[in-house]
Chains A and B, each alone.
Chain A
Amino acid sequence: MSEKRKQQQNHRMNRSHGGGPRMGMPVEKAKDFKGTLRRLLHYLRPHIFQFVLVFIMAVLSTIFTIASPKIMGLATTELFKGVMMKLQGVPGASINFDYIKMILLVLIVLYVISALFSYIQQFIMADVAQKTVFDMRKEVNDKLARLPLKFFDSHTHGEILSRVTNDIDSVSSTLQQSITQLLTAIITLIGVTIMMLAISPIMTLLGLITLPLSLFVTKFVATRSQQYFIGQQKALGALNGHVEEMYTGHKIIKAFGYEERSIEKFNHINEELYYSGWKAQFISGIIMPLINFINNIGYVFVSVVGGILVTKKSIQIGDIQAFIQYSRQFTQPIVQTANIANVIQGMVASAERVFEILDEIEEIPDEPHGKVIEFPEGEIKFENVQFRYQEDVELIENMNIEVHPGETIAIVGPTGAGKTTLVNLLMRFYEINDGKIEIDGIDIRDMARSDLRSMFGMVLQDTWLFNGTIRDNIAYGREGATEEEIIQAARAAHADHFIRTLPEGYDTILNEEASNISQGQKQLLTIARAILAEPSILILDEATSSVDTRTEAQIQKAMTALMKGRTSFVIAHRLSTIREADLILVMNDGSIIEKGNHDELMAQKGFYADLYNSQFTSKNLV
């Protein structure tokens, strides 16, 4: 599944910067084509008026385009007639230039109107396409805000991003180009057929013979090229994977002298890519010349048969000229339609992926009249709490804890023991399956999420900062914080000093990866942010693990001061903190296996005692 998805993503990535799919390339298909298309049309409904306008414009513009060769042919015929009469020595014979002038004037008017209409039509479409995409993007983004954390934890960022950007882009460009193209192609096809039949049924028949031939060739070559495209896609995926891996692990590659083997592997994949790449390119590339050849055969037939018919006086010379133009216009929309059909299929598949997000189950809405705790004390109670990430895997069963205001709760356990689960539950990022969690005697589900969360201050292990100034990043903790408060918070988190040593101070803009400050400094900023929020309950999620011990000692002081009078949940490796905690929750494999204070747990001689003792076995080595 994941492999397949990856391939799809690769596929999409390649398409998005390749400037539209090339002929013969395999097309992605939507699972529910009709349903998705209907839904997509729903988005276009507000623009129905524009669509009708576009339709009318397209019809008119195309009709004019179709009419013009025939009219132009009249001029040629007139010329030819005059010349023939002159050749035959008809007395007083001359070309009727007044007639020709009139025809040409009509043509000019037609062309100008046609161009104008075609422009108006595309102009409107550009507007409609952009508005539709704007709405879709907004809708998806709004939707993301209503989705539970579960959704974000079970989808990669790349996947979600690709849906909001690539997929919506694909919808936009298809709307912009292909819909009007399709419309014009169909009208042209009908109009041209009528015109051709009107000129000469026999020649039309000859022209039509080339049609199935083109379709057959396209189909034949396209199926042949598919396997190479798939091979190319695969090789490209493997190559990208290898590059990504080798570059991200560059230090290790260097340290272990793996460069040569890495290059060897790269060359191997690259060779495969070359092989399937040029074949795919070549085979799909011969579709056009072949179709062109078939067109030229038609052209020859038209010239020859037309020529014969003219000598037999059954058609006019201008008609041949018109006919040549028509037959050129004829095959083009057919190839186009086949192409557009693929593009539209791709668009519907993209739209479907966007709709999938819109259909995700949302968070349970807040109680309409949520209770508000004006002055939170920080008393927390877990009553028979049951929680599972997956229906059938037991995780937290029947958990009961009681935390009094101002207490410190340490959560300990080996890595991967699921310590963040508690955070998820406390802040209601996830819903519990059974039982209840109360703060100051109020079930957290009876409060609005925003009111609940505003009681908490959180410092997570992965520091999240956004692309903006340091000041804005700290101010994120509380809306409308004053400059003084921000600096105060930075001081309390021991961040003020390093910020001031930066050339731009508080105005330093953190770059995209926030790589212009160190990991430890990032941590300090997130702490400052939490301090600014003035929470009644603190959650410190291994907050200081990548800050060095000395800085940590300083932070510890700030934290201890901050924790005073506040209920604090500390997820930590640091035994000194743990020992002073009022309650220790020992977690393993996601569930709480022991709880109590340090002395109680040591007396139990269980998992905790084991863990604690192992820390100091090193002493025996000395």
Chain B
Amino acid sequence: MKKLIKFLKPYTVAVVAVIVFVFAQSISELYLPTLMSDIVDIGIVNGDIKYIIKIGGIMLIVAAGGTIFTILASFLSSRVAAGFGRDLRNQVFSKVESFSIEEFEKIGTSSLITRTTNDITQIQQVVFMILRMMISAPLMCIGGIIMAVSRDAELSLVIVIVIPIIASLIFLIAKKGVPLFKVMQTKIDKLNLILREELTGIRVIRAFNRSEHEKERFNKANLDLTKTASKAFKIMVSLMPLMMLLLNLTTISIIWFGGLRIDSGRMQVGDLMAFIQYVMQIMFSLFMLSMMFVMIPRASVSTNRINQVLEMETNIKDPKQPKKNTGKKGLVEFKNVSFSYPGAERPVLNNLSFCAQSGKVTAIIGGTGSGKSTVINLIPRFYDIDSGSILINGIDIREMSQKELRSKIGFVPQKAVLFSGTIADNIRYGKENATVDEIQHAVDIAQATDFIINMKDGFDYQISQGGTNISGGQKQRLSIARALVRKPEIYLFDDSFSALDFKTDAKLRIALKKEIKDSTVIIVAQRVSTIMDADQILVLDEGEIVGIGKHKELLNTCKVYREIVSSQLSEEELA
């Protein structure tokens, strides 16, 4: 929690004002019983109706003042809490946007989403509660004690006895209850997991006739959860009646001992009545404080999760003095590159060296885990390599700014990702100020024109979040158009044609051929047919290059390549 308090710094004045207002409000709240006791002890005892009305008037003013202070406090605290939430959200989002793929994988995308949204909302709410309750409760408590002691110090001993009892009671119940609620949460998660698996795997479950098995699993988790929940709630519901009982017993003892003091003339009846009300205030503020103890642990989980994000530093940083481009264009060189994923035991790429030139198509083919996609992911510096160097136009990519590096690259991922917005918007991700002509041209080459024209709004067709309202093949083509519109020096296609049918695939490749004349093209592919006409084919096997050459050469020289080809093409096509 402490670490987040620094986010409250810009609001120091407001927070201080909130404290002042809340204090004024507490005083006015406590002053009312004092005035009432005056009515009893002076007004009633003397039968002075005028005095009673006069005090009544003062009471009204005090009450109104208290209300104004509360509203002011509420005004400021809602602004502070919302501002705090906004600042924190901005910080976290900007931070996450700066993360490299590695950090994303470390925390997980869905977890990052919850951290940026739900967790911050949770904390924001707690901050508001703190400003409204956490501050007022102790003030109320202290104020109440001061008033009580000033009325009758000896009678205040009752409070001294009761407070520890209440505190330990709350502590005891919380100690038994809170762990149970934690267990309950994990059991809820478990139940949700089972249910989610049931939903995603519905076809498999039914195909293998395992519905009964799944039902059993669910029922077991359901029963488990219900048992824990029952237990937890049964403990928690004892808190309220016990607190009330204590409160009432305290009042009774005050009347008894107060009565004795009145009898001996050391106290007045009005004092006693005021005293009872002070004690009520003290008890209620204690109760409110106990609520805070329930809220803070909840928020502290969120806080830790957010701090983890804020404290994480991305490994991939821009150099202090980035080198500018040389005259060359599109030359990609790998020199003895070795790379292993964070936490992996073995490197995925081992001592890799090759060179891809402008105007040439370099294709990469190989088995699962051979590191094909990894090669593509290293060029835009999504990860940093362990040893060796990757050069673009003769400059190590670690010596360029990431912005400059990536502006040279047109990247088409394996799984097409589109964003909500129009088709044109999505293509403009590639080039912010692309003209209509440029967009049209890119779309033409990507073989997407036909289906776009057939959509009811054409280029203004709204793509929904995650691109769920267009097909996989259409998504892939738009993702290609997005890269094309950049007219980059280097194209990276990461198995980008797999969602296309043969016909579109072929047409696209013909159109592409002309377009990418002046660029370097690196393609990762599964289908031999996609790459057999490449200028250079790299055959990867377990992170090492086992063959470089053209299709025909490799057929003769590379065993791995021959194996791949023969699994896809029949004898006559090989010939």
Contacts and interface: CB of A to CB of B under 8 A. Distances in A.
Interface string A229-254: 00000001001110111111111111
15 contacts: A111-B248, A157-B200, A249-B419, A251-B382, A251-B411, A254-B101, A256-B406, A281-B82, A296-B66, A304-B56, A308-B53, A311-B43, A549-B526, A618-B529, A619-B532
A311 to B, nearest CB: 4
B125 to A, nearest CB: 7
Contact of A285 (B78, B223, B513): B78
Contacts of B198: 141, 144
Interface string A322-345: 001000000000000000000000
Contact of A450 (B209, B222, B411, B568): B209
Given A304-B53, A533-B208, A119 B406 contact: no
A118 to B, nearest CB: 4
Interface string B61-74: 00110110011001
B564 A553 contact: yes
Interface string A106-129: 011001101110110011011101
B178 to A, nearest CB: 15
A414 B49 CA distance: 95
A126 B230 contact: yes
A-B complex: 3 closest residue pairs judged by Cβ atoms: A553-B567, A278-B82, A304-B56
Interface stretch (B115-123, B320-328, B351-359, B387-395): B115-123
Contact of A76 (B78, B272, B369, B532): B272
A79 B267 CA distance: 11
Given A245-B419, A296-B32, A250 B101 contact: yes
B59 interface: yes
A97 B472 contact: no
Contact of B67 (A127, A256, A289): A289
Contact of B429 (A256, A274, A307): A256
A484 to B, nearest CB: 20
Contact of A300 (B59, B277, B411, B503): B59
B368 A520 contact: yes
B197 A246 contact: no
B569 A119 contact: no
A43 interface: no
A391 interface: no
Given A307-B44, A311-B43, A270 B89 contact: yes
A122 B262 contact: no
A20 to B, nearest CB: 12
A123 B56 contact: no
Contacts of B93: 243, 263, 266, 270
Interface stretch (B139-147, B162-170, B231-239, B435-443): B231-239
A548 B81 contact: no
Contacts of B210: 476, 479
B94 interface: yes
B79 interface: yes
A621 interface: yes
Given A278-B82, A456-B207, A614 B502 contact: yes
Contacts of B551: 622
**Chain B CB within 10 Å — which of A133, A157, A263, A550 has the most?**
A550
A574 interface: yes
B245 interface: yes
Which secondary structure characterizes the binding site on chain A? helix
A137 interface: yes
B385 to A, nearest CB: 17
B195 interface: yes
Nearest to A545: B498
A263 B370 CA distance: 36
**Chain A CB within 10 Å — which of B112, B195, B407, B465 has the most?**
B195
A292 to B, nearest CB: 7
Interface stretch (B1-9, B153-161, B249-257, B329-337): B249-257
A533 to B, nearest CB: 6
A216 interface: no
Contacts of B206: 149, 427, 429, 449, 453
A245 B113 CA distance: 9
Nearest to B264: A95
B83 A615 contact: no
B207 A149 contact: no
Nearest to B260: A97
Nearest to B499: A415
Interface string B32-53: 1001100110011101110011
Given A68-B248, A149-B202, A618 B82 contact: no
A553 B35 CA distance: 92
Contacts of B380: 254-255
A223 to B, nearest CB: 18
A271 B87 CA distance: 10
Interface string A567-607: 00000011110010000000000000000000000000000
Contacts of B249: 108, 111
Contact of A137 (B207, B222, B419): B222
A138 interface: yes
Contacts of A304: 39, 52-53, 55-56, 59
Contact of B79 (A119, A141, A282): A282
Contacts of B67: 289-290, 292-293, 296
A611 B222 contact: no
A17 B195 CA distance: 20
Nearest to A456: B207
Contacts of A19: 125
B514 to A, nearest CB: 11
Contacts of A324: 36, 277
A619 B575 CA distance: 12
Given A116-B241, A615-B502, A84 B196 contact: no
Nearest to B82: A278
Nearest to B372: A548
B60 A300 contact: yes
A176 B259 contact: no
A18 B125 contact: yes
A483 to B, nearest CB: 19
Contacts of A460: 203-204
A34 to B, nearest CB: 29
A244 B110 CA distance: 8
A164 interface: yes
Given A239-B117, A254-B402, 5 more contacts: A129-B233, A255-B380, A464-B197, A549-B367, A618-B532
Interface string A265-302: 01100110110011101100110111011001101110
A418 B324 CA distance: 51
A314 interface: no
A574 B560 CA distance: 19
Contact of A317 (B40, B78, B200, B567): B40
Given A82-B263, A453-B206, A72 B56 contact: no
Nearest to A256: B429
A171 to B, nearest CB: 13
A281 B49 contact: no
Nearest to B377: A251
B223 A134 contact: yes
Interface in B88-117: 89-90, 93-94, 96-101, 104, 109, 112-113, 116-117
Interface in B259-298: 259-260, 262-263, 268-269, 272-273, 276-277
B413 interface: yes
Given A239-B117, A310-B44, A548 B52 contact: no
A520 B369 CA distance: 9
Given A458-B207, A614-B503, A550 B97 contact: no
Contacts of B504: 414
A17 B117 CA distance: 12
Interface in A457-479: 458, 460, 464, 466-467, 476-479
A579 B208 CA distance: 30
B376 to A, nearest CB: 10
**Chain B CB within 10 Å — which of A247, A296, A551 has the most?**
A247
